[in-house]
Amino acid sequence: MNKTMGDADCLKNLTVLYVEDQEDARVQFTRFLERLVGQLLVAENGAEGLNLFMANHPQIIITDILMPVMDGLVMSQEIRKIDRSVQIIVLTAFEQIDYLKSAINIGVNKYVTKPVNGVTLYKTMLECVVDLRSLEQLKDAARTDLLTGLANRRELEIRFSAEKGRAERNGIPFSVIIADIDFFKRVNDTYGHLAGDHVLKAVADALVGCIRTEDFCCRWGGEEFLLLLASTNLEAAAIVAEKLRQIVFNLEIPWEWESLRVTVSLGVSTYKPGMDRDECIRLADEAMFRAKAAGRNRVELSEV
């Protein structure tokens, strides 16, 4: 979802599923909703609604409760099992208080009482847009290292499994690079932690700037970064690692009246089918430690 758009404009980007068995109400609100949302899907009962949901993955669902074939609560329950972020609005008559309780237990987000007032429904949909945005921000935050803006370890797990799956299917290896900033403690001790953070951010930006879009870079530890190079063997990865080393070596990081300079030590390993993730990362890590031992500001390759 585009975060600079207003909430009302945002509805125009969304797909909404509307489920209602009663024809008069359905015709009336189909006309009303069509003007507000990007794509409107309409179903006459929960079973139809569930099928439309599976095929189109709308972001908002508006559903009646009492319907033939499958009611709105059973449908919502089925949908909640597979999608935790879709916003569900139930339409409920005032006297259906027990249904409302069940709806809340199932994970329905909002309710609007029947007979439905168009303005109330519209306002409720806008609330859903706001909630969808916060959910997206939460998802971003859970996958991002706040200081550098890079992906974090959790995101790495997802990407590593994807690359591993691909490598096993097509037999093309991928490579791992671990880059650790040399003498980082000195930066913190001499210039303070703010300078240290600034250096981390600058190095992160430099690393991301010289990999391809299909590659991946995350913050692995304090001053340590891990990169995944898609469809790249050890020799090609060694060339990339050397390029990364030079880019960081040439980096001038402005801080107050000075220009800070750092170097990185890099270790490279390649994933071969059958290896597990930890083993592959351990090999890159060991190579990185050999680069440190051999004098830093250099690249070492895994021997396996």
User: CB under 5 A: which stretch of 14-22, 51-59, 99-107, 206-214 binds Mg ion?
Assistant: 14-22
User: CB under 5 A: which stretch of 17-25, 44-52, 181-189, 291-299 binds Mg ion?
Assistant: 17-25
Q: Distance between CA atoms of 96 and 88, rounded to whole angstroms?
A: 17
User: Quick check: 93 binds Mg ion (CB under 5 A)?
Assistant: no
Q: Which is nearer to Mg ion, 70 or 206 (CB)?
A: 70
Q: Per the residue annotation, which of 20, 78, 163, 223 is the catalytic one? A: 223
**Least distance to Mg ion, CB of residue 67, Å:** 5
One symbol per residue from 27 to 66: x for binding Mg ion (CB under 5 A), - otherwise; what is it? -------------------------------------x-x
**How many Cβ atoms from other residues are within 10 Å of residue 150's Cβ?**
24
CB 37 within 8 A of CB 12: yes
Closest by CA to 11, choosing from 135, 137, 128, 119, is 128
**Least distance to Mg ion, CB of residue 68, Å:** 8
Q: Distance between CA atoms of 64 and 23, rounded to whole angstroms?
A: 12
Q: Which is nearer to Mg ion, 96 or 148 (CB)?
A: 96
Question: Looking at the DSSP assignment, which residues form a beta bridge with residue 61?
Answer: 17, 88
* Strand blocks (E) in 123-202: 174-181
**Least distance to Mg ion, CB of residue 105, Å:** 20
Q: Which is nearer to Mg ion, 67 or 281 (CB)?
A: 67
Question: Looking at the DSSP assignment, which residues form a beta bridge with residue 255?
Answer: 258
User: CB under 5 A: which stretch of 18-26, 180-188, 234-242, 265-273 binds Mg ion?
Assistant: 18-26
Which of 14, 21, 284, 302 contacts Mg ion by CB under 5 A?
21
Question: CA 215, 206, 212: angle at the middle one, nearest 5?
Answer: 20
Cβ burial of 186 (10 Å; 0-12, 13-18, 19+) is exposed
Residue with tokens 């300078």: 195
Q: Which is nearer to Mg ion, 59 or 63 (CB)?
A: 63
**Least distance to Mg ion, CB of residue 71, Å:** 8
* Strand blocks (E) in 156-287: 174-181, 216-219, 224-229, 253-255, 258-260, 264-271
223 in active site:
yes
Q: Which is nearer to Mg ion, 66 or 210 (CB)?
A: 66
Q: Distance between CA atoms of 49 and 34, rounded to whole angstroms?
A: 17
**Least distance to Mg ion, CB of residue 72, Å:** 8
Residues acting as catalytic residues: 223
Q: Which residues bind Mg ion (CB under 5 A)?
A: 21, 64, 66-67
